[in-house]
């Protein structure tokens, strides 16, 4: 069994290019369907979105609810465990606001 520091463990859950973006969208918009997430997370492919959602679900950060209907309907939301990570993401956003180079512009996350 590998020994991780708390920092390494946290990064293993939220690290990478897409996971924090997905989590931020779920926090901002609440319960969200797959297609909506795909539209809101600019540049992500279907394959990567599916993989990242599976990882976050496996870690207990998001909840996936599948409805038995046609066409299929699947919704995602943050779990209490996922919501507990939001202060970290908010601080990362604040850091970006205060440290963005003058040569770049920021836009609000939507």
Looking at the DSSP assignment, which residues form a beta bridge with residue 66? 74
CATH number, residue 55? 1.10.10.10
pLDDT for the residue 85? 96
78 part of a folded domain: yes
pLDDT for the residue 12? 92
Tell me which residue range forms the domain holding 63: 18-98
d(CA 4, CA 12): 10
pLDDT for the residue 108? 56
Q: Which regions of the chain are under pLDDT 50?
A: 110
For Cα atoms 71, 74, 58, give the angle at the middle one, nearest 5 degrees: 145
If one counts the domains in the chain, the total is 1
d(CA 59, CA 109): 24
DSSP for residue 96? H
89 part of a folded domain: yes
d(CA 3, CA 60): 20
108 part of a folded domain: no
56 part of a folded domain: yes
């Amino acid at each position: 069994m590998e020994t991780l520091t708390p920092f390494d463990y946290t990064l293993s859950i939220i690290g990478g290019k897409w996971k924090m973006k997905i989590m931020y969208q779920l926090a901002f918009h609440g319960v969200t369907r797959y297609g909506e997430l795909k539209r809101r997370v600019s540049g992500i492919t279907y394959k990567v979105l599916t993989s990242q959602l599976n990882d976050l679900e496996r870690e207990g950060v998001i909840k996936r609810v599948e409805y038995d209907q046609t066409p299929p309907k699947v919704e995602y939301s943050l779990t209490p465990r996922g919501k507990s990570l939001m202060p970290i993401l908010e601080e990362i956003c604040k850091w970006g606001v205060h440290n963005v180079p003058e040569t770049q512009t920021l836009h609000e996350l939507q």
